Amino acid sequence: MASPSSAPTQPLQPIPANHTPLPAPETSEQALLASFKAAALSVTQLYKDSQKHQRAEHAKGYEAGLQDILSFISSHPDVLAKQDQGQTEDEIRHNTTISVDDMVTFASSARWRNQQQQPGRTNDIGGNQDTTHHAHMDQHQIIQQQQQQQQAQYAQQRHSPHVFPQ
């Protein structure tokens, strides 16, 4: 039986100049942890940026919606009639009501216009908006005709002589 000291020993080879030592286990774990932290930080920043962008776009859309409603109210035949009668904006605001039906009609036509501005968009069920809302287009045409009739009646009332019952 040979003793460990009696085994032949090989001389140590010199380390080549271009040799890079293997990293210590702690160093590779630290590098992995640093990479993970950097990736997590990047994902967090991306999430924050997208949330900021989403809030800004929502605010723009909300403001556009309010502008649409203001425009609708300003051009409503009842409001125009009161303006022609010389009422102030305060008087018009306090003394004018717009029916729920008129608001629903406006909202329906606005929704239809928005869908027409985004061709190829699919609905929640998965069908194409262009075919799914074909019947809605007919409703929109009816709404437009009703609005044109209201405006014609209003114009006719403005230009006809007032006849008061005796």
CA distance 145 to 136: 14
Verify that 114 and 84 share a domain, yes or no.
no
Residue 166 confidence class, pLDDT cut points 50, 70, 90: very low
Report if residue 18 sits inside a domain: no
Verify that 104 and 125 share a domain, yes or no.
yes
Verify that 78 and 123 share a domain, yes or no.
no
Domain count, the chain: 2
Verify that 104 and 150 share a domain, yes or no.
yes
pTM over 0.75: no
Residue 135 predicted with pLDDT over 50: no
The pLDDT tens digits for 36-76 are: 999 999 999 999 999 999 999 999 999 988 998 888 888 88
Verify that 152 and 114 share a domain, yes or no.
yes
Verify that 87 and 123 share a domain, yes or no.
no
Verify that 104 and 145 share a domain, yes or no.
yes
Verify that 139 and 153 share a domain, yes or no.
yes
Verify that 90 and 105 share a domain, yes or no.
no
The pLDDT tens digits for 88-118 are: 989 988 888 888 888 888 888 877 777 777 6
Helix locations, the chain, DSSP H: 25-74, 77-84, 89-95, 100-116, 129-132, 134-159
Q: What SS3 class is residue 162?
A: coil
CA distance 24 to 70: 69
Domain housing 55: 51-97
